[in-house]
Chains A and B, each alone.
Chain A
Amino acid sequence: MSETLAVGAPEAPQRPPQPTGRPSNRLRLARLRDLALVPPIIALLIYGYTLKPDVFLTKSYLVDTVLKYQTELALVVLAEALVLIVGKFDLSLESVVGIAPAVAVFLVVGQTSILGAPWPTWTVLPVAIAFGALIGVFNGLLVVRFKLSAFIVTLAMLIALRGLQLAIVGGATISNLANRIPTIDNLGSLRILTIPLSIWIVVLAFAVGIVVLGYTRFGRSIYAVGGNPDAARAAGIRVERVIWVTFIVAGALAALAGLMLSARLGSVAANQGNGMIFTVFAAAVIGGISLDGGKGSLVGALTGVVLLGLIQNVLTLAQVKPDQIQAVNGLVILVALVLARLTSGKAQD
Chain B
Amino acid sequence: MGDDESRPVVEAIGIAKRFGPTVALADGRLTVLPGETHALVGRNGAGKSTLVGVLTGLLKPDAGEVRFAGRPAPPMGDRVAWRQHVACVYQKPSVVGELSVAENLFLDRQPRGRFGLLSRSRLRRAATDLLESWSVPVDPETPAKELTVEQRQLVEIAGALSHGARFVILDEPTAQLEARAIARLFDRLTGLQQQGVTFLFISHHLPEIYEICQRVTVFRDARHIVTAPVAELDHAKLVEAMIGDAHGLVQVGQDRPPVPDEAEAVLTLDAVEVPNFTGPIDLTIRAGEIVGVAGSAASGKRQFAEAVVGLRPRTGQVRVAGATVPPASVPAALRAGIGYLPADRNADGFVPGLSVAENITMTVADRLGPAGVVLPKRRDAQGRRAISDFDVHTAGPHQPVSELSGGNAQKVVMARALARDPRVLVLVHPTVGVDVRSKESLLGVVDAETRAGRGALLVSDELDDLRVCDRVVVMVAGRVVAEHGRGWDEATLVAEIEGIGEKHV
- Residues in chain A within 8 A of chain B (CB atoms): 17, 19-20, 22, 24-27, 214-221, 223-224, 227-228, 230-238, 294-295
25 contacts between A and B (CB under 8 A): A20-B377, A24-B398, A26-B396, A26-B399, A214-B376, A215-B373, A217-B365, A220-B365, A221-B365, A223-B353, A223-B358, A224-B358, A228-B348, A230-B348, A231-B342, A231-B349, A231-B350, A231-B351, A234-B330, A235-B330, A235-B362, A236-B333, A236-B362, A294-B351, A294-B354
Report Cα–Cα, A67/B390, bound state, in Å.
50
With A20-B377, A228-B351 as given contacts, are A236 and B330 in contact (CB-CB < 8 Å)? yes
Residues from chain A with Cβ under 8 Å of B350 in the complex: 228, 231
Known: A215-B373, A236-B333, A236-B363. 20 other contacts (CB 8 A): A19-B398, A20-B377, A22-B396, A24-B396, A26-B395, A214-B376, A216-B374, A217-B372, A217-B373, A218-B372, A219-B374, A220-B365, A223-B351, A224-B351, A227-B351, A231-B348, A231-B351, A234-B309, A236-B334, A294-B351
Report Cα–Cα, A236/B335, bound state, in Å.
9
Residues from chain B with Cβ under 8 Å of A233 in the complex: 311, 330, 348
Partner of A236, one of B331, B349, B400: B331
Give 5 closest A-B pairs by Cβ, nearest first: A230-B348, A227-B351, A235-B362, A217-B365, A236-B334
Residues from chain B with Cβ under 8 Å of A235 in the complex: 330, 362-363, 416
From A220, A230, A232, A234, name the one whose CB has the most chain B CB atoms within 10 angstroms: A234
Residues from chain A with Cβ under 8 Å of B349 in the complex: 231, 234
Q: Any chain A CB within 8 A of the CB of B175?
A: no
Residues from chain A with Cβ under 8 Å of B358 in the complex: 220, 223-224
Residues from chain A with Cβ under 8 Å of B347 in the complex: 230-231
Report Cα–Cα, A230/B380, bound state, in Å.
24
With A228-B352, A231-B349 as given contacts, are A26 and B362 in contact (CB-CB < 8 Å)? no
Residues from chain B with Cβ under 8 Å of A228 in the complex: 348, 350-352
Residues from chain A with Cβ under 8 Å of B377 in the complex: 20
Instruction: Assess the A217–B311 pair: CB atoms within 8 A.
Output: no
| Closest Cβ–Cβ distance, residue B22 to chain A (whole Å) | 11
Instruction: Assess the B398–A20 pair: CB atoms within 8 A.
Output: no
With A24-B395, A24-B396, A227-B351 as given contacts, are A215 and B374 in contact (CB-CB < 8 Å)? yes
| Closest Cβ–Cβ distance, residue A222 to chain B (whole Å) | 11
Closest-by-CB residue of A relative to B396 is A24
| Closest Cβ–Cβ distance, residue A233 to chain B (whole Å) | 6
Q: Any chain A CB within 8 A of the CB of B141?
A: no
With A26-B395, A223-B354, A234-B330 as given contacts, are A216 and B348 in contact (CB-CB < 8 Å)? no
Q: Any chain A CB within 8 A of the CB of B231?
A: no
Q: Count of A-B contacts with CB under 8 A?
A: 93
Instruction: Assess the A227–B330 pair: CB atoms within 8 A.
Output: no
| Closest Cβ–Cβ distance, residue A212 to chain B (whole Å) | 9
Report Cα–Cα, A40/B348, bound state, in Å.
39
Report Cα–Cα, A215/B375, bound state, in Å.
6
| Closest Cβ–Cβ distance, residue B375 to chain A (whole Å) | 7
Partner of B354, one of A20, A219, A224, A238: A224
| Closest Cβ–Cβ distance, residue B349 to chain A (whole Å) | 6
Report Cα–Cα, A231/B416, bound state, in Å.
11
- Per the 8 Å Cβ criterion, residues 308-365 of B in contact with A are 309, 311, 330-331, 333-334, 340, 342, 347-354, 358, 362-363, 365
Q: Any chain A CB within 8 A of the CB of B366?
A: yes
Residues from chain B with Cβ under 8 Å of A215 in the complex: 369, 373-376
| Closest Cβ–Cβ distance, residue B165 to chain A (whole Å) | 31
Closest-by-CB residue of B relative to A295 is B353
Instruction: Assess the B342–A234 pair: CB atoms within 8 A.
Output: yes
From B334, B352, B396, name the one whose CB has the most chain A CB atoms within 10 angstroms: B396
Instruction: Assess the B365–A238 pair: CB atoms within 8 A.
Output: no
| Closest Cβ–Cβ distance, residue A239 to chain B (whole Å) | 10
| Closest Cβ–Cβ distance, residue A223 to chain B (whole Å) | 6
Report Cα–Cα, A218/B342, bound state, in Å.
23
Partner of A232, one of B351, B368, B376: B351
| Closest Cβ–Cβ distance, residue A308 to chain B (whole Å) | 26
Residues from chain B with Cβ under 8 Å of A220 in the complex: 358, 365, 374
| Closest Cβ–Cβ distance, residue A34 to chain B (whole Å) | 14
Residues from chain A with Cβ under 8 Å of B348 in the complex: 228, 230-231, 233-234
Report Cα–Cα, A231/B311, bound state, in Å.
11
| Closest Cβ–Cβ distance, residue B377 to chain A (whole Å) | 5
Residues from chain B with Cβ under 8 Å of A221 in the complex: 365
Q: Mark B157-180, 1 if CB is under 8 A from A, else 0.
A: 000000000000000000000000
| Closest Cβ–Cβ distance, residue B168 to chain A (whole Å) | 30
| Closest Cβ–Cβ distance, residue A208 to chain B (whole Å) | 13
| Closest Cβ–Cβ distance, residue A35 to chain B (whole Å) | 17
Report Cα–Cα, A214/B373, bound state, in Å.
9
Report Cα–Cα, A133/B379, bound state, in Å.
32
Closest-by-CB residue of A relative to B333 is A236
Residues from chain B with Cβ under 8 Å of A218 in the complex: 372
Closest-by-CB residue of B relative to A229 is B348
Partner of B398, one of A27, A216, A232, A294: A27
| Closest Cβ–Cβ distance, residue B418 to chain A (whole Å) | 13
Residues from chain A with Cβ under 8 Å of B334 in the complex: 236
Residues from chain A with Cβ under 8 Å of B373 in the complex: 215-217
Report Cα–Cα, A235/B342, bound state, in Å.
9
With A24-B395, A24-B398, A235-B362 as given contacts, are A217 and B351 in contact (CB-CB < 8 Å)? no
Q: Mark B409-441, 1 if CB is under 8 A from A, else 0.
A: 000000010000000000000000000000000
| Closest Cβ–Cβ distance, residue B304 to chain A (whole Å) | 15
Report Cα–Cα, A27/B395, bound state, in Å.
11
Report Cα–Cα, A228/B346, bound state, in Å.
9
With A216-B373, A224-B351 as given contacts, are A26 and B365 in contact (CB-CB < 8 Å)? no
Report Cα–Cα, A295/B331, bound state, in Å.
25
From B342, B351, B376, B380, name the one whose CB has the most chain A CB atoms within 10 angstroms: B351
Closest-by-CB residue of A relative to B19 is A349
From B381, B398, B400, name the one whose CB has the most chain A CB atoms within 10 angstroms: B398
Report Cα–Cα, A236/B362, bound state, in Å.
8
| Closest Cβ–Cβ distance, residue A347 to chain B (whole Å) | 13
From B330, B358, B363, name the one whose CB has the most chain A CB atoms within 10 angstroms: B330
| Closest Cβ–Cβ distance, residue A121 to chain B (whole Å) | 35
Residues from chain A with Cβ under 8 Å of B352 in the complex: 227-228
